[in-house]
Amino acid sequence: MTSKKLELLVGLFVALGLAAILALALKVADSGISGNGQTYELYAKFDNIGGLKVRSPIKIGGVVIGRVSNIALDNEDFTPIVTLEIFAEYQGFSEATSVSILTAGLLGEQYLGLDPGFVDESVDTLVPGDFIEDTKPALVLEELIGQFLFSQGSDD
């Protein structure tokens, strides 16, 4: 009888340990993604988003300042519209801000790179809900390889 009681206690201890590890993993993953919780949205239209996904990071100089919250297709001109969810502590970007779709490494994940542009009294700042006008689409590796092979074949 003591053997079954010991096995039951060991099983309960293991289950509690696994639940604690799962809770810790979820807590760490959540705090790394959400920042302080307060965000605002900006929008950007691209010709080609490549492999950009929802929840892809938005970075300035390698620092994550937000996440992509939505990708939709414009009904008028059928171009992708990306919703940028920026942490509220990063505000005051000028209208000269540009956004590019970049790749981490040669075949790594794609993310949005923000270039804040210049700040001047004559240039307004972006407010929540504004569109970032200056966008640079993703470089698609297959298209680059195709252009390279086509240009090599036309030299003859």
Q: What is the pLDDT of residues 122-149, one digit of tens each?
A: 668 888 888 988 888 877 777 778 888 8
- Per-residue confidence (pLDDT) for residue 121, from 0 to 100: 67
The model's pLDDT over 1-33, given as tens digits with 9 standing for 90+, comes to 678 888 999 999 999 999 999 888 877 765 554
pTM over the 0.75 mark: no
Residues near 69 by beta carbon (within 8 Å), at least 6 away in sequence: 41, 54, 55, 83, 84, 85
- Per-residue confidence (pLDDT) for residue 48, from 0 to 100: 87
The model's pLDDT over 54-112, given as tens digits with 9 standing for 90+, comes to 999 999 988 999 999 999 998 999 999 999 999 988 888 888 889 998 888 777 788 99
Domain ranges of the chain: 1-33, 35-139
Dist. CA 4–CA 10, nearest whole Å: 10
Say whether pLDDT at 154 is over 70. Answer: no
